[in-house]
């Protein structure tokens, strides 16, 4: 049977993408190595190799024959089966973003980001922002150039909107200003009430020493309870916990052990484990049709923070995990009741470090970063101004100020590769509050978690949250799950109810 032009081009596109994915896989492995065990003096050379291999992948999709075939598929997308249509739409969106970015320019950009990561690592180690500032100038310039090269195809009304769209399609700064405005309106007064509450929560045990060996045993146990598939995943340590999807059957997570903060590793592994469950439970057909990158960071963060907070800091989870914590951390938990443990998990105390902040004040950490990067990208502030502005905003929102750049503007790696990511953490909270309210109508969530049975929860997530994430835009996706439009209200209602009860307001 003679192949049609459409089927020929479809076959050709998939062949090229198969080869490109092999280069990308190699880059992912090197990136994972760079952030885990690569010595600091070897990072720059490794970054050069990553940039080279990434550029080889990029060259393949910039070949005129590939571009022509991919655009042909997009023009005839109505004739394609669903998953091929989604692939064609994703390729078209990528084409609009990169059509004016040559392989040479892409390689230049990659080198900037890799140098920036190395310089951030050195600056963080030295707690000296001035060592990172030149790289942040370069990153800002590259992000501006990338958006300018898109011209009329740039999403949103402003250059910063285009960056937001890269991480969360359809999201704009106007939408975030409204959502974060609602957060400030409701959470700032509530934080004041919490701080004035006579209710005192015990926290001394949270800083008792626990060695790395015991924390590692707890991390593995938690991943096992969550149903993390160790035949398709692994975990280790890194300076900044993260999840790396290296390939179809290889998803790795990392954590960081602090001798006097055992909760930090517990909750970073639950968070990253959530990301991993999302990756490990993707339909095989999504891999076969090269649409695995269709999900947004807001979707991903909704899942990781769902497991970390909605499940992990709930009363039912505290009841389930309490005996194991006592078993593995007997000295730290000596004389600590289950109620004290639960309240300790949920103590509200403004702190400097985002990844170690409590569930309630976390949103302020995101708002601060959003306001800084939005102003920076709009040219309203300078790179050199960031540490002082950072300190001022932390004092304004949370009443604390960093003593060093390490606990201030250098604590996160994200800006080493650009802007627009941070808001997705808060967006994820808004999403999961919405779908948790839907889930509990169909699943006895608290009973299942109290028994340590993650199967009903995971099953619901797979069928409702994971299944269509690569196929739908975020707005379509959240409406498909909940039947409602995006809103922060569910999340704010949840915080008010939970913390009013804990602090007896």
Backbone angles phi, psi at 42, to 5 degrees: -95, -5
| Candidates 35, 138, 168, 272; catalytic one | 272
- Torsion angle of the four alpha carbons 489, 493, 495, 496, in this order, in degrees rounded to the nearest 10: 130
Contact 119, 130 (CB under 8 A): no
Inter-axis angle of helices 489-502 and 173-196, nearest 10 = 10
Measured CA to CA, the distance from residue 142 to residue 135 in angstroms comes to 10
User: Is beta strand 243-247 parallel, antiparallel or unpaired with respect to 233-237?
Assistant: unpaired
In the sheet that holds 250-255, the strands lie side by side as 233-237, 250-255, 243-247
Q: Which residues of 404-421 are buried (b: 16+ CB within 10 A; e: fewer)?
A: ebbbbbbbbbbbbbbbbb
56, 114, 194, 339, 346 from 501: Cα distances, Å: 56, 46, 11, 13, 11
Q: What residues contact residue 369 under an 8 Å CB cut-off, 6+ apart?
A: 354, 412, 422
Q: What is the per-residue DSSP string for 213-243?
A: HHHHHHHHHHHHHHT--TTSEEEEE-SS--E
Residue 309 and residue 270: Cα distance in Å, rounded? 9
Known active-site residue 319: no
Between the two ends of the chain, the Cα-to-Cα distance in Å is: 74
The pairing of beta strand 250-255 with beta strand 233-237 = parallel
What is the total residue count of the chain? Answer: 505
Collect all residues with Cβ–Cβ distance below 8 Å to 359 and sequence separation of at least 6.
309, 313, 346, 495
Handedness of CA 301, 302, 303, 306 (dihedral sign): positive
Beta bridge partners of residue 244, listed in sequence order: 252
* Catalytically active residues, by annotation: 272
């Amino acid at each position: 049977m003679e192949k049609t032009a459409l089927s020929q081009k479809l076959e050709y596109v998939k062949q090229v993408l198969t080869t490109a994915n092999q280069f990308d896989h190699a880059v992912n492995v090197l990136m994972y190595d760079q952030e885990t065990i690569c010595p600091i003096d070897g990072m720059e050379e490794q970054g050069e190799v990553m940039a080279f291999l990434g550029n080889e992948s990029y060259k393949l999709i910039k070949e005129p024959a590939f571009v022509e075939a991919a655009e042909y598929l997009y023009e005839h997308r109505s004739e394609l089966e669903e998953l091929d249509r989604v692939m064609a739409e994703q390729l078209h969106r990528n084409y609009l973003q990169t059509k004016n970015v040559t392989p040479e320019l892409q390689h230049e950009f990659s080198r900037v980001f890799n140098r920036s990561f190395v310089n951030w690592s050195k600056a963080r180690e030295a707690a000296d922002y001035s060592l990172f500032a030149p790289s942040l100038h370069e990153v800002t310039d590259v992000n501006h150039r990338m958006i300018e090269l898109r011209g009329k195809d740039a999403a949103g009304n402003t250059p910063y909107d285009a960056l937001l769209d890269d991480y969360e399609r359809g999201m704009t700064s106007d939408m975030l200003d409204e959502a974060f405005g609602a957060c400030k309106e409701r959470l700032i007064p509530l934080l004041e009430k919490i701080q004035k509450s006579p209710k005192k929560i015990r926290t001394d045990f949270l800083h008792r020493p626990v060695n790395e060996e015991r924390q590692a045993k707890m991390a593995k146990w938690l991943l096992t309870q969550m149903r993390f598939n160790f035949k398709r995943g692994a975990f280790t340590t890194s300076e900044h916990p993260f999840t790396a999807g290296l390939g179809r059957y290889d998803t790795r997570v990392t954590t960081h052990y602090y001798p006097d903060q055992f909760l930090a590793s517990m909750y970073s592994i639950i968070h990253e484990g959530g990301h991993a469950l999302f990756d490990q439970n993707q339909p095989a057909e999504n891999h076969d049709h090269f649409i695995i990158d269709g999900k947004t960071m807001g979707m991903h963060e909704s899942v990781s923070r769902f497991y970390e907070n909605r499940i992990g800091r709930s009363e039912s989870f505290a009841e389930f995990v309490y005996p194991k914590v006592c078993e593995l951390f007997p000295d730290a938990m000596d004389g600590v009741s289950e109620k004290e443990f639960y309240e300790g998990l949920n103590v509200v105390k403004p702190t400097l470090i985002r990844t170690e902040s409590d569930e309630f004040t976390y949103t302020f950490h995101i708002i601060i970063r959003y306001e800084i990067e939005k102003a920076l990208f709009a040219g309203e502030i300078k790179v050199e101004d960031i540490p002082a502005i950072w300190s001022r905003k932390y004092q304004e929102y949370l009443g604390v100020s960093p003593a060093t750049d390490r606990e201030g503007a250098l604590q996160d790696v994200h800006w080493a590769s650009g802007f627009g990511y941070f808001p997705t953490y808060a967006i994820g909270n808004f999403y999961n509050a919405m779908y948790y309210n839907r889930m509990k109508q169909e699943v006895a969530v608290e009973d299942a978690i109290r028994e340590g049975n993650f199967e009903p929860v995971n099953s619901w997530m797979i069928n409702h949250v994971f299944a269509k994430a690569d196929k739908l835009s975020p707005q379509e996706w959240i409406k498909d799950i909940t039947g409602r439009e995006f809103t922060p209200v569910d999340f704010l209602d949840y915080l008010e109810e939970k913390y009013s009860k804990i602090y007896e307001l």
